[in-house]
Structure 1
Amino acid sequence: MAMSVKQEGGDEDVPMSDINTTPLVDVMLVLLIIFLITVPVVIQSVPVKLPKVRYEVTQTKPENVSLSINGSPDGTCNVYWNMKKLTSKELLDRAVQNLKDQIDKVGGAQNITEDNMPEVHIRGDINTPYRCIGGAVYTMQLAGFAKVGFISQPGVGGAPIARN
Structure 2
Amino acid sequence: MSSGGGGSGAPMAEINVTPLVDVMLVLLIIFMITAPLMAHKIQIKLPEATLNVKPEETGRPITLAIKEDGEVFWNDEPISQQMLESQLALEAQKQPQPRIDIRADRTTKYRIVQNVVKTAKSVGIAKVGFVATNEH
TM-score bracket for this pair, using the shorter chain length: 0.5 to 0.7
Tell me: CA distance 1:63–1:98, structure 2 relative to 1, closer, same or farther (3 Å). Answer: farther
**Which residue in 1 is equivalent to 2:121?**
141
Deviations, residues 115-161 of structure 1 (Å, cap 9, x unaligned)? x33211101110001111001101111121111110100012xxxxx
Name the CA distance, whole Å, in 2 between partners of 1:62 and 1:81.
16
How many residue pairs align between the two structures?
81
Larger relative CO (CA 8 A, sep 6+): 1 or 2? 1
AA in 2 matched with 1:68: A
Mapped contact 2:91–2:98 kept (Cα < 8 A)? no
**Which residue in 2 is equivalent to 1:91?**
84
Name the CA distance, whole Å, in 1 between partners of 2:123 and 2:82.
11
Name the CA distance, whole Å, in 1 between partners of 2:119 and 2:112.
11
Name the CA distance, whole Å, in 1 between partners of 2:126 and 2:91.
13
User: Which of the pair is proportionally richer in strand?
Assistant: 1
> Structure 2 residue aligned with 1:120, among 100, 119, 127?
100
> Structure 1 residue aligned with 2:67, among 63, 67, 70?
70
**Is there any run of 5+ residues in structure 2 with no aligned partner, and where?**
1-54
**Which residue in 2 is equivalent to 1:39?**
none
Shift of 1:63: 4.2
AA in 1 matched with 2:63: S
Q: Spell out structure 1 runs of 4+ moving beyond 6 A.
A: none
Deviations, residues 40-65 of structure 1 (Å, cap 9, x unaligned)? xxxxxxxxxxxxxxxxxxx5753421
**Is there any run of 5+ residues in structure 1 with no aligned partner, and where?**
1-58, 104-115, 157-164
AA in 2 matched with 1:137: V
Report percent identity of matched pairs.
26
TM-score (normalised: structure 1): 0.45
Partner SS, residue 66 of structure 1: strand
TM-score (normalised: structure 2): 0.54
